[in-house]
Amino acid sequence: MKINPVIEKELRIKMRGWRSPALLAVYLAILGLVIFFGFFENIFDIGYSFRTFNPRTAYNVYNALASFQLVLLTLIVPAVTAGAISGERERQTLDLMLCTNFSPLSIIIGKIAVSIAQIMLLIVASMPILGTVFLFGGVRITDLLLLIAYYLATALMVASIGIFFSTLFKKTSVANILTYLTLMFLHFGTLVLFAFYVRVTMDPVNFTRPTFNEALAFLFANPMFGFSYLLEGPSGGGTILSLFTMVLSYGAGNAPVVPPWVANMIFDVVVAAVLIPLSARLLRRP
């Protein structure tokens, strides 16, 4: 099977040397410390009381690590893709790539694949650490596989936004700023719009609240909203995702049209399907 030359070239450059293995080792060490201190607090409490080990501790640690990885994904992938094309243009190597047999679409796909591969290497390598919660129950292997699928869909969406702005603008700094502003709107702007809607429509006398589907209509594009439902379900759990699980509680007793994580993954795929061909068309433009 022939590998995309852009992917092969970028991976050879980025994986050569000691930096990538060192980064992976440091990352796994940090996650290991989080696991250790998360369990150590519970074990320390047991030593001075008659309480047994609380399995919820393992679940909370799992949620914290999963959330940390999603934040890492949304921070690193834009930094890589926002300079993928504009950086080639600034180094005056883009024209050389366009003069080869590489199609613009293969260049775009290659750049996106490399950016996703870097972060997914860290995420996949951390799966055995996340899997320690299997010892205490509460998390199934299907939950872990769904989490990886959600990471992939989110990374694809984030990378497609970054590569689009990198192709549209000549300056990497401009592409970076617009990429992060777009992601900030998806994470926080949708929440602000939903809060405004709640403020306008809430009846203070009868204390009517938005339904689940109304919340979904505003927050389907918010990665953290779908992620919270994927981890906690509609009831929430009092973790660092409490802000989003509180929003989920608005829909108590109202079945959603689709689960929020499914709606968000559909949104991610649609955004990527639109922006990747559009980026290739912009790249083909003289």
Report which of 177, 179, 10, 157 is spatially closest to residue 70, judged by C-alpha positions.
157
Within 13 A of 272's CA, how many CA atoms are on the CB side?
19
Task: Say if CB 30 and CB 183 are below 8 A apart.
Answer: no
Confidence at residue 245, expressed as pLDDT on a 0 to 100 scale: 57
User: In this predicted model, what pLDDT tens digit does every residue of 115-162 receive, in sequence order?
Assistant: 888 777 888 888 777 777 767 666 777 888 888 899 999 999 999 999
User: In this predicted model, what pLDDT tens digit does every residue of 90-121 receive, in sequence order?
Assistant: 777 777 777 777 778 888 888 888 888 877 78
pTM value is: 0.82
Q: Measured between alpha carbons, how far is 176 from 246 in angstroms, rounded to an integer? A: 32
Task: Say if CB 188 and CB 198 are below 8 A apart.
Answer: no
User: In this predicted model, what pLDDT tens digit does every residue of 238-256 receive, in sequence order?
Assistant: 444 555 555 555 554 566 6
User: In this predicted model, what pLDDT tens digit does every residue of 31-64 receive, in sequence order?
Assistant: 777 777 766 666 555 444 545 556 667 777 778 7
Confidence at residue 186, expressed as pLDDT on a 0 to 100 scale: 92
Confidence at residue 240, expressed as pLDDT on a 0 to 100 scale: 42
Task: Say if CB 165 and CB 179 are below 8 A apart.
Answer: yes
pLDDT of residue 235 exceeding 60: no
Is residue 182 very low, low, confident or very high in pLDDT (cuts 50, 70, 90)? very high
Q: In residues, how long is the chain?
A: 286
How much of the chain exceeds pLDDT 90, in percent? Answer: 13
Chain CA centroid to CA 69, Å: 8
Report which of 75, 64, 104 is spatially closest to residue 88, judged by C-alpha positions.
104
